Amino acid sequence: MKTRTLLLLLGILILLGASMYAMKAAYEPEPVWLQGQIEARQYQISSKAAGRLVELKVRRGSQVEAGDELYRLDSPELEARFRQAQAGANAADAMRQEADSGARKQQIQAAFEDWQRAKAAAALAEATYQRVQVLFDEGVIPRQKRDEADTQWQAARHQASAAEALYRMTEEGARSETRQAAQGQADAAQAQLAEVQAVLNDMQIRAPRRGEINQVALHQGELVPQGFPVMSLIDMEDAWALFQVREDRLSQFVEGTQVELYLPALQASYPFEISYRAVQGEFATWRATESGQDYDLRTFEVELRPVTPIDGLRAGMTALYKAP
């Protein structure tokens, strides 16, 4: 009888405890879970030049290192432009060298010989004029003959002077202005060649950094327009969790503090540091406050960075935060 009484009292106590626990659980507020998403930095891989995709060295999911070749384009038109620019640069450089070097020795010698010939012709014209002047003074020949001899002498003198100036100019070489103009043309041609060379070098596209190929839009043999993103690269080393937080909960996210986020895909919690907060645009969702209040609540973006690298982290994973 005593044992039955004790068992009855024990059952009553158990039922009373269960009822009290149920009542406490019913009146306690349920935890609020905020849901976010893992984002990662993406790079659009494109070329400054258009061409045909002749070699594709990666596929979706390929892991690449910085500097690895991704794909190669071919453009006969661009190669022809390069050869044309190279020929123009060579011609401009040759003209610059000619302006700097001056005339060749054979040209200088020829100009000197022309000057000597003109001097001899002027001396002969002067001697002829002197003889004609004597005959004119003696009344042997008319004034017309004397004037013709004088004209021939003056013409020969001017011709000799012009030949001497030509010789001096040939000997001195090109003027400084001419040399500067030739240098400018050579520099312009080299700059044009460098421009075409830079575009031609961009026909072999390499990875800007380490990452994973996320998308491949075109395939081998297809034409690639200028600046078209052939593929995208995702860098999981630059990943973060992005949450949309109503402003009445924004005080729970202070920049520089750490919180625990649960990742269902990895079935584990990891520490994240709050790195950035910013209000969304006017188009973002506005939520009404509780009854009796006359203002709306805006939505903020909150960015959280993992404190340490997380193995298996992927863009698009769900991240959960348990609000206090």
| Global confidence as pTM | 0.59
Look over the chain and give the mean of its residue pLDDT values, rounded to a whole number. 79
What is the identity of the amino acid at 214?
N
Query: Among residues 224, 186, 174, which one has the least CA distance to residue 70?
Result: 224
15-29 tens-digit pLDDT: 766 666 555 544 555
The values of phi and psi at residue 111, to 5°, are: -65, -40
H or E stretch including 237? strand 231-246
283-322 tens-digit pLDDT: 555 454 444 455 577 888 999 999 999 999 999 999 999 8
Q: For 17-21, 57-61, 170-174, which range has the lowest pLDDT when averaged over its residues?
A: 170-174
184-218 tens-digit pLDDT: 777 777 887 787 887 788 888 999 999 999 999 99
Query: Among residues 253, 291, 289, which one has the least CA distance to residue 36?
Result: 253
- Give yes or no for residue 63 having a pLDDT over 90: yes
221-254 tens-digit pLDDT: 899 998 899 999 999 999 999 999 888 888 888 9
Res 292: pLDDT = 46
Q: Do 222 and 52 form a contact (C-beta atoms < 8 A)?
A: yes
Tokens of residue 249, six digits: 């909960």
